[in-house]
Structure 1
Amino acid sequence: MPALQLRLVTFSAAAALLAASCSGALAQKKYDTGATDTEIKIGNIMPYSGPASAYGVIGKTEEAYFKKINAEGGINGRKINFISYDDAYSPPKTVEQARKLVESDEVLVVFNPLGTPPNTAIQKYLNSKKVPQLFVATGATKWNDPKEFPWTMGWQPNYQSETQIYAKIILKEHPNAKIAVLYQNDDYGKDYLKGLKDGLGAKAASMIVIEESYETSEPTIDSHIVKLKSTGADVFVNISTPKFAAQAIKKIAEIEWKPVHFLNNVSASIGSVIQPAGLQNAQGIISSAYLKDPTDPQWKTDAGMLAWNAFLDKYFPEANRADASVMFGYTVAQGLVHVLKACGDNLTRENVMKQAASIKDLELGGLLPGIKVNTSATDFAPLSQLQLQKFKGETWERYGEVLSSDTGG
């Protein structure tokens, strides 16, 4: 073989070897604590006990959904190891459980921890550790602050835009209203209240005749409802979690107070709120939605609802299908699976947040038509659209167009 030809063969062999080693480097798997070739550890904190225990079913639904994913081969060949702890909706306990997840269990992310006060208690800690606090189960506006808290991201439409939408309806349809507000005395309740006042603008001071707060430690809010009625208010804005929302609906009927009733959507579940309060007592209540209502017959043949029912049949047959929290847990779990799939073999915490902040027009089976998930590096609010609904007969009836926080605020 001539020397030149030999040199060319040697060169091309070396080039091929170099190319192979480069592509090997490019395809190299990257992991942070909590991820391996076979497993992705996901941490979660839920109020399985305590005053907000109605929400515990969210964690149970997520666990069931990840079992389905694992049974189908996992995510890019990796099984999800879902570790979920109870904090009883008590912030000191949340801190304890977050530390356990990060320092003992060594999870990749803390996913969908529930409640505004609990998440507030762990936000600085998780951000200092650079652990994703991903898709938190609370609509407080502050989760959308990528500059200050780049490791925290919300999920559901934020509380302030929801009450701003209600304020617009009140101003338009009840311009002379006397408004009574009941709110939970914590960050969650105050966030909703701020949205209502911002939405009412200059008229807030004259229209709101009473702002009554309750503590989650109270066994009943009956006395607060009696006090609200005594003001002569004809519009009631009910900012409460499921247990207290059900009590309020029941008590209003009992004392024959008939205000126009706006109920925050975190307590719009037919299974955990409306049924316990009595369907007859909930007629005419106004709320909002971004998820399909499983009790609504219009979704009977809907592809997303058929998939949801098939999932429950196989992996969570004991679930109460009238409970909106089951649909919430299912949908947010799908959101996490989307992000983890997008991460490919780069399962670093940084890449998890990068993929979570790069979602474009994601449609999930449990979301109402026209409502899509969108995020960016400067927008950590995945969902920002809502549709108004009124309770009629045995279910919610949606009306009007899909509203976004832009039109709501």
Structure 2
Amino acid sequence: MSTLRPALLTDQYELTMVSAALSDGTADRRCVFEVFSRRLPAGRRYGVVAGTGRLIEMIRDFRFDPAEIDYLRRTGVVDERAAQWLADYRFTGDVDGYAEGELFFPGSPILTVSGTFAECVVLETLVLSVLNHDCAIAAAAARMVTAARGRALIEMGSRRAHEEAAVAAARSAYLAGFRFTSNLAAGQRYGIPTAGTAAHAFTLLHDDERAAFASQVATLGKDTTLLVDTYDIAQGIRNAIAVAGPELRAVRIDSGDLAVIAQQSRELLDSLGATETKIIVSGDLDEYAIAALAAEPVDMYGAGTAVVTGSGAPTAGLVYKLVEVEGRPVVKRSEHKATIGGRKVAVRRHKPTGTATEEVVVPQGVPDRQPNDRLLQHSYVVSGEPVPLPTLDESREHLRQCLISIPWEGLKLSGGDPAVPLTVVPAT
């Protein structure tokens, strides 16, 4: 669990609204907020729900301690009435949403927060901060998993992200199907398998490449990965096998024309008798670079920067909007930013074969259920109390099944319509 306290991970205007609503008597009105995206990032055909497990923990721990309240008083962010309200803050409402690992599309109501206006609105920034980041990472990582065609991936982007964002990114990448992370905090916190090789600095430290390899093998055994591109790749492979023998687990290549080098490296390894030694490639890989290597003898991909930055889409574009007050639908009518009022229920419609055909969203009602429909929303928090959630591995398997269920066109890396059309129907 993160050591960060979540209460002040928010925007000042949340507390401005709380202060004013407490003053005018509207703070306790029962409200419903929904999280959704208006559009997917360019070139994407689906989004992936991720970060919900992290978010529920942070909502559970969302408290204002005396020092934080004193800071808000001293700086004039809140008045005395609001300060007292914050001192007693506990979220007592409900949170419902799509399962972690579920796919979403423009308009999907992926999270619903209900309770009093004040207790819900103060969570807005936290909700969006967590979900926008984690959903973006998971969607990019899922595309890389598809491009890898069953080959393993290791997430290794910690040096390209904020230290806490790196841990969250590792979690989202694992959810999406990456097999390992290099981030040890993510390994400890979430039970994600970790893996690592060595840096060029380790080779340069030693008098020659063979000495560096000998040191690593002496310490870790032959079940290790030697980085062979510090100098000449072909000679590096010869040195690696000379030191470790043909039982060496893997070599890693981090530079050059990877398609050509992978072929040459496989041929060289086989000629040296190291037919079982794996080839791991890394170096600014994204889903397109991984797809381009599909026909090459690569056994594992290491992806870093593209993962932790969402491969060009670092946010999922999610918004948190008020849709209902005291049971009455409310609608924002801003040009290009209009909302649909009322709390919504969503189902994913499937063929008997299991292929998803449509997502149906009903405001203020229940869908007309058909035999192969799957209800998408589940309870996360009930009357302020979190309910047991699926494990990260269970959510990972859920996403794998969801990706199997969408039409094959939806897995293409090229731009196009959402993989599954979404229809908003009138309430029944």
Give the number of the structure whose residues are more often helix, by fraction.
Answer: 1
- What TM-score results when the alignment is normalised by the length of structure 2? 0.30
TM-score normalised by length of structure 1: 0.31
